Structure 1
Amino acid sequence: MAKSIRFRAYIRQLFMRFILGFILLMLLSFVVFGFVYYEIYVVRDTSRANTALGAVFEQEWQRYDTGVHDLAHSDVVRAAIQGERLAEAHRLLYAFSFAGPLHADFALLDRDGRVIASNLYAVNRELFEMHEGVRSDLARLRLSPEETVSSVLPLPFSYDQASSYAFSAIVPDGSGSVDGYLIFTVKTEGLRSLAAQGGVDQVVVTDGFDNVIFSTNRLLEDALGKSAVQVQGAEFIRVNGRSYYAVAHPYADARVHVVTMTSIVRQQQLIETGAVFLCGVIVLLLLAMPLLTHKVTERSLRSIDSLLHAVRECRGGNITQQELPRSFLEFETLYEDFNTMLREIRRLLATNAELAERKRLMEVRQLKGQFNPHFAFNVMEALRYEILIDPQRASEMVVAFANLMRYSIRADGTSVELGVDIRYVRDYLMLQKMRYGDRLDYTIEIAPELLTCRVPKLLVQPIVENSIVHGLERIRHLHLRIEGQCADGGLRLSVEDDGPGMTDAKYAEILALLAAESAEPEHIGLYNVHRALRLLYGEAYGVEIVRRTHGVTVILDLPLIWEGEDV
């Protein structure tokens, strides 16, 4: 058998386990939070920013590849080379430059490389015509006149016209020869705005040869304009002593490579700060755990201690109403049930005490009647004559009288079989018959199947005695009829006489007596039987008086109880 422990100790252990479990839960939650935070705000956001930027470059590179070639072969641009329709050409080129998210500056050159039309400021036009990178692109165009040439072209122009990449195409004449050049330079400011929208810390954009088109930090480029960041797919890197999570993907047929980088220094600082705070909370909880455990245990068990005190008082014999403190609803329900139980115990004790007293009075009254000198004298006198006249009958009288005495004084239980109690009544009536002779007759009719049911001891005899005593006072002959039958699922016994009956006043007096809490000595036998049945079986059972023209019927209602059932 498992060793019992005190509930107080169990509550303390349970609360301490709860605190330790809470600490472990906080640690686990912190780890999960760090992992989820890293996955969402580092890995996912960095990859998402790379995809978003790549989609823009894919779209714009396609737009410039196709658009620059088509514009260079358009009639408006070819006419502008000849000095015609310049305003119209200017509007057309300007609209194309700002049609997408990456804006560009344009320049329309003649075959000698001089600017015919452009949106560049005058100071920037001169630099543009003399720039070595522009001259190099024009030479590449003459080698591939049917293609749109794109290349890294860093132009450090002023007035926000700096650029980093160029798309160029030849403007052919009617015979297909070079008549001029059309160049669009993608603005660096547009690339910077696009990178700022990505939500990452650093962005590097290169061409297929690792030449930097744009970067958010010059430290990410080397002295030759190459990218200082080498990333394959997604990985952790360190740049200039700082840790980053970087994602790299190619776009636009691998002509553009986009690298997005998120610093994990902030995440490390956040995790370190959270870890320090969490450790502080854990230390405080561990230090406060004994005090918290004591306080919670005492408060939680205050109601149980009060209930235990009330139980000990009850065990010590104090079954009065217990005043218990107000507490939680569940404990107040227990308190109410406990006090209800005490009230029920007090009621049962009072009921049992009254029942025992009624039984004692019934037995004392019966013994008084049987040991009454007048009753015994009559029995002995009748016995003396019967011995001379009919010895056999005299023997029966002796046996009946002995049975009567034995049944009255034995104490082998509070209930007997109905057949046993009826045999006692038969012995009693036989002796009374010998006393009164022809003045008394009786019949007993009990259904045989009812003789084994259980009834209170000395149940019928007081009713029979009452009928004889009050019936023969005023008439010459009395006939008693005792019956037993099933009625409404219970047992119904009746004692009927053909005596003088009752007056209205007497009948009202008897009814009041049966409803009263106590009885006058004159009617204590009838009242004791009625009260005993009520105490044993409830208010639905008891004695009922039926008044007739000649005589009275006393009805006893009680439940059918068989051997082995509680009476």
Structure 2
Amino acid sequence: MKQSKSIKDYLKKTFLKYTVIIIFLLVFVFLISLCVVFNYSVIKVNREAGEALENELTEEFEGYREGIEELSLNKEIVQALENNEVDSYVNKLLYEFKNSRNISSDFVLINGNEEIVSTSFHQDDEEILSDHVFLRLLANELKQIHYKEQTIHNRIFGESRSYSYYFSTAVSNGAKNVGYLIFFIDDFIDTSVDNQLVYITDQYDNVIAKTNNYHIDSLGKFTVDNGQNLVKIDENYFYMNKQPAMNNQLNIITLSIINVYRNILIFGMVTMLISSFIIFLIARVIIPKIFKKTLQPLNALIAIISNGNHKDIFNKSTAVDELNVIYKEYTSKIEEIRELIQKNEEITEKKRLLEIKHLEAKFNPHFLYNALEMIKYEITLNPDNASDIVVKIAKLMRYNTNFGNTLVPLKVDLEYLINYCEIQKLRYGKRLEFKINIHNDLLDIPIPKLILQPLIENAIKHNIDYKNNLKITLTAQEISNHLVINVIDNGLGIKEIELESLKKKIYHKDEEIEEVRQIGLKSTQGILRLLYGEKYGLRIESSYNEGSVFSLDIPLKEVNNFE
């Protein structure tokens, strides 16, 4: 047996639960806000710095490639190398290009004998370079491949000068190489790039440019594991981003220090946990006292309702507005229940009256007279057929006079309609066609009994004399949790003025009705609204000389079967 709980215990537990939820939400919001700030102030700035440096390097390197190619094709430089005489104009061209670049460099112009004929290096550096094997090896390579650019891993000039990259090309007069032009790129990163530590490495982690000398080993390699984003270096914490550049030949590594954010996270979480614990303890102590005082008027209200001594006692014993509202709602609901009981009784009576009127209106002497006339002729011409007609009429009369449940499955009412229409087809022959187009999945849906037959009879009665071939189609479909049943005919239709008048008499309770058709349609509308509510019922659409559509809108929900 389930143990009952008092409202006091329930409210206490609920309040504590939501207190914990609010605390967790505050911690969550704190963490989210810290992540957002970290993303915009660290990650975004870090990546933008890397992307900006990548764009700058790409632009500058492309400028060097284009410039060195133009210089190698310059006639004055080619002629100077052929004559082994470099004049001031050639030096001017080389210095102007060197000075036009944002990334500093030094150039060397070598003749065909691998001798330096022009350079921007100082004399000491020129002598070192002239004697170094690097220059001869590079000249031999340029004889084969004409152009080469590459990182420099060894220090040609010792510790005094550091060059990280070079662009080189052979200078040719068309028939043979007459010399070679080389630009050595200096350490090409500014010492401060948006407060970031920046390293540029090749594919093998060799550092070719940097803003400082930390984290570089004796072989010139970057020593930090660049496969992680958050790294610890010398008791400091950094966010690290690796940006590929130059078709993955170079890597731009940017590091942003995040010690401040780490401290904020640690101290913030400690503060939140301590505060949350204090709030939870206070809530556990204060909540019972608050609820004890708050629930006194509610207990009084429960006692008043249980004893049946209503309004006067309650108004004198409490001044809580909310509980007065509860009491008023309680008394209001009692009245609503009484009205619903009375309405249900009206529905039951309306159902019985509707079935009686339906029996009188549909199985009138005129219909029985025509049916008996058909039986008389069929007995003479086709006795077996006459027997079938008698059976069908008996089924119709039995179904009409059976005061069963208000709701029946759709398939049950369709059986009645089929019998009814077959009798009518015997009377009118080929002038009448009746077709049912309803999916099997809808056949078990409950609908009001005898709700469809008045619509079929109206379609026959008001159109058969005007059509040589009257077609009546019955369809049904499920639309937005509603069952919509359509009776469609190709009859005479209804003029617009007459249609508006008919709708007015059917939809308004106070309108008087005159014709039998209006009685049947108004009764159909009335029973649908009594059973399902004001927003459901009968809809009529008609075009004169084209036909009409009578639609029943029924909700797909359970409705009490009134006896």
TM-score, with structure 1 as normaliser: 0.44
Structure number, greater radius of gyration: 1
TM-score, with structure 2 as normaliser = 0.45
